């Protein structure tokens, strides 16, 4: 998936990827897509839950060789 910005969270565990995502999404424009790269498996359930709670759009997960990429679209400020 093509993203406008990427956030490297490899080596970080819950709650840090979510904390950093919340920080990072503020810097995106509405409609832009953020890619978060992580290796903590918790993110596969955490990111959709975070998106639901904050009202942003969760676009999906890609997984390859233990590296997990999740995509979120910023839908509001």
Partner 1 sequence: MAEKDKLSIVLFSGEMDKALAAFMLATTGASMGMEVKIFFTFWGLNVIKRNEGSIKSKGLMRKMLNIINRGGSKRLKLSKFHMFGLGTWMIKRLMKDINMPSVEEFIVMAHEMGVKLIPCSTSCGLMGADQEAFRPEAEPLAGAAYFLAEASNSKVTLFI
**Residue 53 within binding range of partner 1, rule CB under 8 A:** yes
DSSP3 helix / strand / coil % (the chain, rounded to 5):
30, 35, 40
In the sheet with 67-73, reading across from the earlier edge strand, the strands are: 5-9, 33-38, 67-73, 57-64
Query: Interacting stretch for partner 1, rule CB under 8 A, among 15-23, 27-35, 60-68?
Result: 15-23
- Least Å distance between CB 69 and partner 1? 19
Cβ–Cβ < 8 Å for 34, 20: no
Residue 13 near partner 1 by CB under 8 A: yes
Q: Are 42 and 15 in contact (CB under 8 A)?
A: no
Map residues 18-37 to x or -, x wherever contact with partner 1 holds by CB under 8 A: xx-xxx--------------
Q: Footprint of partner 1 on this chain (CB under 8 A)? A: 11-16, 18-19, 21-23, 50, 53-55
């Amino acid at each position: 998936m093509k993203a406008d910005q990427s956030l490297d969270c490899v080596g970080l565990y819950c709650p840090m990827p979510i904390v950093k995502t919340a920080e990072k999404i503020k810097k995106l424009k509405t409609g832009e897509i953020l890619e978060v790269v992580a290796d903590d498996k918790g993110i596969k359930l955490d990111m959709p839950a975070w998106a639901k709670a904050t009202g942003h759009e969760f676009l999906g997960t890609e997984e390859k060789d233990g590296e997990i990429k999740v995509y979120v679209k910023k839908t509001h400020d």
